[in-house]
Amino acid sequence: MRVRVLLPISLLLLAISAYGAPTLSTSNHATILRGDVSWNRFAECRPTILTLEQVLGNQTNSQGGALESGGWQGMIPDKRSTSPPCGVNGLPTLVEIRHLHTSLGTPGTSWDECDAVIADNCDLTLNLGDDPTLSCPACYSHKIHVEIDMYWNASRTAPMMIPVGTWVDVQGFVYWDPDHVTDQGHSYSGWELHPFTAWRISGTTDSTVPLGVTICPGTVRPVSSGVSQCSTTPTFTRYY
């Protein structure tokens, strides 16, 4: 005689989640995957694999930028934290997005808020997108701004910048910055991965990420409000 054992749905979901299989998310009505490990040993959370569209959502403003209300609501409260919470609003904050391309700026030469928080230190910034063939304004809902935070850089636990024109998989903490929703260079949206914690070449499985500090050996010159540029090629020194 066969005996059927029926488990409550809550236990089934718990078992699925525990073994790393797909888990259902009520945010954006999408299926999300739990990643394996954080590639940055100092980002002590388990990453969740999302698409760029899951992070940005499908609601846009009049400029074509992604709105806060439609995006991923697992946002950290403090972009400067070196130990952000692993969960906010019942959602994970450390995300992994695969197959993105440098879409704006020259990685490593765009610096932000220099000397505004830490003397002789800046945020290192660039934009990533999943479809470089799109023309704007349609492009804005397919890009995200990422920043290697100056606190991570100063503590020598930051990744090196991504080479120009490279397809990469990335990890970082989701953050909404309301101060940049009118900036074209920010895709008219406040969405960021900040702090941006790690990357690898897309399609590889190597999670050995060099960690250290990037400095500008030349002069950091202001080029616009809050944004500066390094006059020479930045250098990266590995510590981990």
pLDDT tens across 129-146, in order? 999 999 999 999 999 999
| Confidence (pLDDT) at 121 | 83
Residues 6+ apart with CB under 8 A from 47: 34, 35, 36, 37, 38, 92, 94, 95, 96, 171
| Confidence (pLDDT) at 181 | 95
pLDDT exceeds 60 at position 190: yes
* Residue 55 Ramachandran class (φ > 0 left, ψ -120 to 50 alpha, else beta): alpha
Q: How confident is the model at residue 7 (pLDDT cuts 50, 70, 90)?
A: very low
Of 3.40.190.10, 2.40.50.140, 2.160.10.10, 3.75.10.10, the CATH number of 33-238 is 2.40.50.140
